[in-house]
């Protein structure tokens, strides 16, 4: 009898662990995938006498892929609401060209150029969202048209030539670093302080979420799994922060990305409007019958996407110190891939901000790692396409189960 009781207890524990893993399978799986990809490139490049996890490379991951994370944050809301936006690359290129024209040709200061660029992006998003939300034209068609229109508008505005360079204020949008406010210098004490606060907040948020689950009678994930995931994230945060502190400090782009991630995570998980967007993507008819103004929410998702596309476009323009006619090419593909790799559903209604950021980091790490290894761009595209396909197959498999 004792053996039977022990077997039942073990079986119940395994079932509980499996349930916890199943509920967070995509989230935990993507985090482990990111760790595995970083470890792979670190080992392979070390065998070839090349370094991967050095301060310069870590900084470049954020500088060169910041625009993908920005676009992916907006793309998540569009996809969660049951739509898609194929125009973000062209919109980013156009708003970057507008910012360059205002800054260089009209000599406007950066503190006016940046807000005006965001307004232009918002108006573009509103124009496209209007046809999708209120006229029920498929978003694929509307944004495909927008892709072609704003690509042509970029060529027209730039006259087929580059515009630049920019003043230091505008360049700091992408190339600036937060100075050491404590005056230590090297290592950057302020960067270390911020990292320590970030790690403390990670644990506080995690334990607070567990307490909230218990308060509402929900079974929390096993403590071992929770601590394992949190410690992995904390260790990664500490390592990155330490490397940056001994390099040039925290990049301004990284600060913007962290602020945006926190804001959008709070919006999607803790506000009524955020939950309603998920309801629209899950079942639009049911959401409308429950009193949700679905058309307005879809419209706002596209406005938000336009603003973030403008921010991404200006960030890339500032980093390159030039607005180019070919800017933004393929941005929409990287953003969409990041969203799906990060765990969003193809049919809408599900997906998390944290997952999207992890998905974008996976894309960024793969881009840098393959470039350092000398893999050709044609093979890089094929590999990223296969990764996206695997992520979608994984999503379909989970739903079938």
What pLDDT tens digit does each residue of the chain (401 aa) get?
455 554 555 555 555 545 555 456 666 778 888 888 888 888 988 887 788 888 888 888 888 889 999 999 999 999 999 999 999 999 999 999 999 999 999 999 999 999 999 999 999 999 999 999 999 999 999 999 999 999 999 999 998 889 988 888 888 888 888 888 887 777 888 889 999 999 998 899 888 888 887 887 777 778 888 888 889 889 988 988 888 888 888 898 988 999 999 999 999 988 999 999 999 998 999 999 999 999 999 999 999 999 999 999 999 999 999 999 989 988 998 999 899 888 888 788 888 998 899 889 888 888 888 988 888 888 888 888 888 888 778 777 766 66
Rounded-to-integer distance, Cα 271 and Cα 265, Å? 10
CB 154 within 8 A of CB 94: yes
CB 243 within 8 A of CB 188: no
Q: Are residues 76 and 127 in the same domain?
A: yes
Rounded-to-integer distance, Cα 250 and Cα 190, Å? 9
Q: And the tokens for 391?
A: 């992520």
Task: Specify if 386 maps to a domain.
Answer: yes
Task: Specify if 148 maps to a domain.
Answer: yes
Q: Are residues 66 and 137 in the same domain?
A: yes
Task: Specify if 264 maps to a domain.
Answer: no
CB 367 within 8 A of CB 382: no
Task: Specify if 3 maps to a domain.
Answer: no
Q: Are residues 234 and 372 in the same domain?
A: no
Q: And the tokens for 375?
A: 């893999």
Q: Are residues 158 and 31 in the same domain?
A: yes
Q: And the tokens for 24?
A: 């967070």
Number of domains in the chain: 2
CB 301 within 8 A of CB 129: yes
CB 173 within 8 A of CB 314: yes
Can you give the pTM of this predicted structure? 0.90
Q: Are residues 170 and 234 in the same domain?
A: no
CATH label of the domain that carries residue 393:
1.10.3470
Q: Are residues 283 and 149 in the same domain?
A: yes
Domain range holding 218? Answer: 177-250
Q: Kindly provide the b/e burial profile for residues 9-43, where b requires at least 16 CB atoms within 10 angstroms of the residue's own CB.
A: eeeeeeeeeeebeeebebbbbbbebbeebbeebee
Cα dist. 400→79, 355, 395 in Å?
Answer: 20, 21, 9
Task: Specify if 266 maps to a domain.
Answer: no
Task: Specify if 9 maps to a domain.
Answer: no
Q: Are residues 35 and 140 in the same domain?
A: yes
**Can you tell me which residue has the tokens 């998905």?**
359
């Amino acid at each position: 009898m004792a053996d039977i009781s022990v077997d039942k207890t073990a079986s119940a524990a395994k079932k509980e662990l499996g349930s916890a893993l199943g509920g967070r399978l995509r989230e935990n799986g993507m985090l482990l995938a990111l760790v595995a990809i970083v470890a792979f490139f670190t080992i392979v490049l070390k065998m070839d006498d090349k370094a991967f996890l050095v301060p310069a490379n870590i900084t470049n991951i954020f500088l060169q892929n910041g625009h993908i994370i920005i676009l992916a944050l907006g793309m998540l809301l569009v996809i969660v609401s049951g739509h898609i936006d194929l125009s973000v690359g062209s919109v980013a290129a156009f708003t970057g060209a507008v910012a360059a024209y205002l800054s260089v040709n009209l000599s406007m200061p950066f503190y006016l150029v940046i807000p005006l660029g965001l307004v232009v992006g918002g108006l573009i998003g509103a124009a496209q969202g209007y046809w999708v939300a209120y006229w029920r034209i498929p978003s694929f068609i509307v944004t495909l048209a927008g892709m072609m229109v704003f690509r042509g508008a970029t060529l027209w505005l730039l006259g087929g030539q580059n515009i630049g360079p920019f003043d230091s204020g505008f360049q700091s949008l992408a190339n600036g670093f937060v100075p050491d406010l404590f005056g230590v210098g090297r290592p950057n004490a302020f960067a270390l302080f911020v990292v320590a606060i970030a790690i403390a907040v990670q644990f506080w948020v995690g334990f607070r979420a567990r307490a909230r689950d218990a308060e509402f009678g929900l079974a929390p994930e096993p403590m071992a799994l929770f601590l394992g995931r949190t410690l992995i994230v904390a260790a990664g945060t500490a390592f990155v922060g330490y490397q940056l502190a001994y390099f040039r400090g925290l990049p301004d782009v990284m600060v913007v990305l962290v602020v945006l991630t926190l804001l959008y995570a709070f919006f999607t998980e803790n506000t009524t409007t955020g939950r309603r967007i998920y309801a629209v993507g899950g079942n639009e008819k049911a959401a409308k019958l429950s009193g949700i103004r679905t058309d307005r929410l879809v419209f706002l998702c596209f406005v938000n996407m336009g603003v973030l596309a403008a921010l991404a476009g200006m960030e890339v323009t500032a980093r390159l110190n030039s607005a180019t006619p070919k800017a933004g090419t393929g941005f929409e593909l990287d953003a969409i891939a990041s969203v799906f790799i990060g765990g969003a559903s193809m049919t809408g209604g599900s997906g998390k901000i944290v997952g999207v950021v992890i998905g974008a980091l996976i894309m960024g790490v793969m881009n840098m790692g393959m470039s350092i290894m000398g893999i050709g761009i044609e093979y890089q595209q094929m590999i990223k396409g296969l990764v996206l396909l695997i992520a979608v197959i994984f999503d379909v498999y989970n739903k079938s189960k």
